[in-house]
Amino acid sequence: MKMFLFLALLAFQAKSAQHCSEYVVAYNSGDIKNIWGSFMNAIYDMPTVIKDEYELKFLNLDAKSKITILESVLEECSVTQSNENLETVIKKVM
Protein backbone atom coordinates (compact mmCIF):
# COMPACT_ATOMS: atom_id res chain seq x y z
CA MET A 1 0.00 0.00 0.00
CA LYS A 2 2.81 2.43 0.89
CA MET A 3 4.53 1.74 -2.44
CA PHE A 4 1.30 2.47 -4.31
CA LEU A 5 0.91 5.82 -2.52
CA PHE A 6 4.53 6.70 -3.25
CA LEU A 7 4.09 5.94 -6.96
CA ALA A 8 0.82 7.85 -7.05
CA LEU A 9 2.51 10.90 -5.54
CA LEU A 10 5.30 10.72 -8.10
CA ALA A 11 2.80 10.51 -10.92
CA PHE A 12 0.96 13.63 -9.78
CA GLN A 13 3.98 15.65 -8.72
CA ALA A 14 4.18 18.97 -10.53
CA LYS A 15 6.97 19.34 -13.03
CA SER A 16 9.63 21.88 -12.33
CA ALA A 17 9.94 23.85 -15.55
CA GLN A 18 13.43 24.77 -16.68
CA HIS A 19 14.05 28.43 -17.40
CA CYS A 20 16.63 30.22 -19.51
CA SER A 21 18.45 31.44 -16.42
CA GLU A 22 19.04 27.84 -15.28
CA TYR A 23 20.24 26.82 -18.74
CA VAL A 24 22.67 29.75 -18.93
CA VAL A 25 24.10 28.82 -15.52
CA ALA A 26 24.46 25.20 -16.62
CA TYR A 27 26.09 26.25 -19.91
CA ASN A 28 28.50 28.62 -18.17
CA SER A 29 29.55 25.84 -15.79
CA GLY A 30 31.26 24.16 -18.74
CA ASP A 31 30.04 20.79 -17.44
CA ILE A 32 28.41 18.90 -20.30
CA LYS A 33 26.36 16.86 -17.80
CA ASN A 34 24.79 20.08 -16.47
CA ILE A 35 24.15 21.44 -19.96
CA TRP A 36 22.71 18.14 -21.18
CA GLY A 37 20.61 17.74 -18.04
CA SER A 38 19.11 21.20 -18.24
CA PHE A 39 18.33 20.83 -21.95
CA MET A 40 16.82 17.36 -21.64
CA ASN A 41 14.79 18.34 -18.56
CA ALA A 42 13.19 21.07 -20.65
CA ILE A 43 12.31 18.50 -23.31
CA TYR A 44 10.87 16.21 -20.63
CA ASP A 45 8.73 19.16 -19.46
CA MET A 46 6.97 19.17 -22.83
CA PRO A 47 3.56 17.55 -23.20
CA THR A 48 3.92 13.83 -23.98
CA VAL A 49 2.41 14.32 -27.42
CA ILE A 50 5.41 16.37 -28.59
CA LYS A 51 8.08 15.35 -26.06
CA ASP A 52 8.93 12.18 -27.92
CA GLU A 53 9.20 14.04 -31.23
CA TYR A 54 11.67 16.62 -29.87
CA GLU A 55 13.63 14.04 -27.90
CA LEU A 56 14.08 11.75 -30.90
CA LYS A 57 14.85 14.62 -33.23
CA PHE A 58 17.60 15.86 -30.92
CA LEU A 59 19.04 12.47 -30.01
CA ASN A 60 19.24 11.41 -33.68
CA LEU A 61 21.39 14.40 -34.62
CA ASP A 62 25.13 14.05 -35.09
CA ALA A 63 27.38 15.59 -32.42
CA LYS A 64 28.06 18.78 -34.40
CA SER A 65 24.35 19.44 -34.91
CA LYS A 66 23.62 18.82 -31.22
CA ILE A 67 26.27 21.38 -30.27
CA THR A 68 24.76 23.84 -32.75
CA ILE A 69 21.32 23.40 -31.15
CA LEU A 70 22.73 23.80 -27.62
CA GLU A 71 24.56 26.98 -28.67
CA SER A 72 21.48 28.35 -30.47
CA VAL A 73 19.40 27.82 -27.35
CA LEU A 74 22.04 29.68 -25.34
CA GLU A 75 21.99 32.59 -27.82
CA GLU A 76 18.20 32.75 -27.73
CA CYS A 77 18.20 32.63 -23.93
CA SER A 78 20.70 35.48 -23.89
CA VAL A 79 18.29 37.79 -25.69
CA THR A 80 15.13 36.78 -23.81
CA GLN A 81 14.13 37.30 -20.22
CA SER A 82 15.80 34.97 -17.76
CA ASN A 83 12.46 33.59 -16.62
CA GLU A 84 11.57 32.52 -20.17
CA ASN A 85 10.55 28.89 -20.21
CA LEU A 86 13.38 26.83 -21.76
CA GLU A 87 10.84 24.54 -23.37
CA THR A 88 9.53 27.48 -25.40
CA VAL A 89 13.04 28.45 -26.53
CA ILE A 90 13.83 24.89 -27.60
CA LYS A 91 10.65 24.75 -29.67
CA LYS A 92 11.67 28.02 -31.36
CA VAL A 93 15.21 26.84 -32.12
CA MET A 94 14.40 23.34 -33.25
16 or 86, which is more confident: 86
pLDDT tens, 7-56? 444 444 445 688 999 999 999 999 999 999 999 999 999 998 899 999 99
How many whole angstroms separate alpha carbon 4 and alpha carbon 84? 35
2 or 81, which is more confident: 81
How many whole angstroms separate alpha carbon 36 and alpha carbon 63? 12
Asked if residue 3 has pLDDT above 80, the reply is no
Q: Where are the domains of the chain?
A: 17-93
